[in-house]
């Protein structure tokens, strides 16, 4: 009887600790108060953030790429994630959200109802964005069409279906500090924050956290075949590329060998092409200045 009491007490304590540790760590409301978004600036944030690339319908072309009804499926080692509707529809999308709710989602990965988002939504990078960029982004996204589309749920095995546990993931991996200290501040901001390059170009550990020690050193392709390339200035990465080569690649999709970007990088190139040339230059300079690392083994 006594043993059972003890076990019950331990379980209760464990449960309470879990509940406490996995609580959403909300953004301070004061950070957003009084900010008014600028949709023109937000259009640039939208491009570097690559929001559309995951949230438009599969195979959307041209204007249809601004219809952010979601529905694309992303296969990962943890299950298949379905992109949600982030169009301006007030009920099915995010049109009804306040600036604060939107910023809390993008910077902290927390939904308006207080649930954790899965890090397939790259808030692990977005958390390094400025609040003013996020508010500008919301102002721009409010100008995009409302899409009345309901998507199917994520297809995840049971342990990952429980969102509360993501609080622990965030405790371990969500970090808004800069990763590599370089003199190229603008490039660093774009790459590590809104550009979220590391989400694909850095390997992840068993729990799906990005490995900061193998930062941008390439990774297996989560959807199966091939590898995402090493983009550090190592001989296995971009050592042979000049800054001009990188900028040309961001504009045209052609490598110095005149091979072309393929797969999901094609959408990234389209987004980079919309940015001011100084931003492409800043990204190139940042990539040439980070530590050179050999290909990540896994």
Partner 1 sequence: MLKKITLKTVLITAVLAASATAGGHTEIEQRIGAMKAVVGEMRILGGMAQGKVDYDNLAALSALETMRNAVATAQPLFGTPPVDGEETRAMAAIWEDGSEFDAGITTLLAALDTAIAAEPADLASFGPLFGAVAGTCKACHENYRAPEE
Residues that bind partner 1 (CB under 8 A): 59, 221, 225-229, 248, 252-254, 257-264, 266-267, 269
SS3 state of residue 155: strand
CB closer to partner 1, 116 vs 201: 201
- Distance of alpha carbon 181 from alpha carbon 177, whole angstroms: 10
Closest separation in Å from C-beta 60 to partner 1: 12
Residue 247's closest CA among 218, 288, 209? 288
* Alpha carbon separation from 17 to 21, 113, 168, 173 (Å, rounded): 6, 22, 11, 19
CB closer to partner 1, 63 vs 259: 259
Closest separation in Å from C-beta 28 to partner 1: 41
- Distance of alpha carbon 154 from alpha carbon 118, whole angstroms: 10
Q: Which tokens belong to 59?
A: 């195979």
Closest separation in Å from C-beta 75 to partner 1: 14
CB closer to partner 1, 261 vs 292: 261
Cα 79 versus chain centre, distance: 17
CB closer to partner 1, 205 vs 263: 263
Closest separation in Å from C-beta 93 to partner 1: 26
Closest separation in Å from C-beta 260 to partner 1: 4
Give kind and range of the element (H or E) at residue 104: helix 99-108
Are 270 and 253 a contacting pair, CB within 8 Å? Answer: no
CB closer to partner 1, 63 vs 159: 63
Which stretches within 184-276 are classed as H helix?
185-192, 198-201, 243-252, 265-274
Strand ranges, E, within the chain = 73-76, 79-82, 219-220, 227-228
CB closer to partner 1, 151 vs 264: 264
Closest separation in Å from C-beta 262 to partner 1: 4
Closest separation in Å from C-beta 65 to partner 1: 13
Residues constituting the chain: 298
CB closer to partner 1, 264 vs 289: 264
């Amino acid at each position: 009887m006594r043993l059972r009491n003890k076990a019950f007490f331990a379980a209760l304590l464990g449960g309470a600790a879990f509940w406490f540790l996995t609580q959403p760590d909300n953004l301070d409301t004061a950070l957003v108060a009084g900010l008014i978004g600028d949709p023109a600036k937000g259009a640039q944030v939208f491009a570097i953030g690559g929001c559309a690339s995951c949230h438009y319908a599969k195979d959307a072309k041209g204007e249809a790429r601004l219809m952010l009804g979601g529905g694309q499926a992303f296969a990962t080692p943890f299950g298949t994630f379905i992109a949600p509707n982030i169009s301006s529809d007030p009920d099915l999308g995010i049109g009804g959200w306040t600036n604060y709710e939107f910023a809390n989602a993008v910077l902290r990965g927390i939904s308006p109802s207080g649930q954790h988002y899965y890090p397939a939504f790259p808030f692990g990078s977005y958390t390094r964005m400025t609040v003013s960029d996020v508010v500008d982004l919301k102002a721009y996204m409010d100008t995009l069409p409302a899409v009345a589309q309901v998507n199917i749920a994520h297809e995840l095995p049971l342990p990952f279906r429980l969102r509360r546990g993501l609080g622990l993931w965030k405790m371990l991996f969500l970090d808004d500090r800069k990763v590599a200290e370089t003199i190229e501040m603008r490039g660093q901001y774009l790459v590590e924050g809104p550009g979220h390059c590391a989400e694909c170009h850095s390997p992840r550990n068993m729990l799906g956290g990005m490995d900061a020690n193998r930062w941008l050193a390439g990774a297996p392709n989560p959807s199966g075949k091939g590898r995402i390339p090493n983009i550090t200035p190592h001989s296995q990465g971009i050592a042979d590329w000049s800054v001009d080569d990188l900028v040309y690649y961001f504009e045209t999709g052609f490598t110095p060998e005149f091979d072309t970007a393929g797969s999901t990088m094609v959408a990234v190139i389209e987004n980079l092409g919309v940015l001011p040339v100084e931003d492409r230059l800043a990204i190139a300079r940042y990539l040439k200045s980070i530590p050179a690392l050999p290909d990540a083994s896994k």
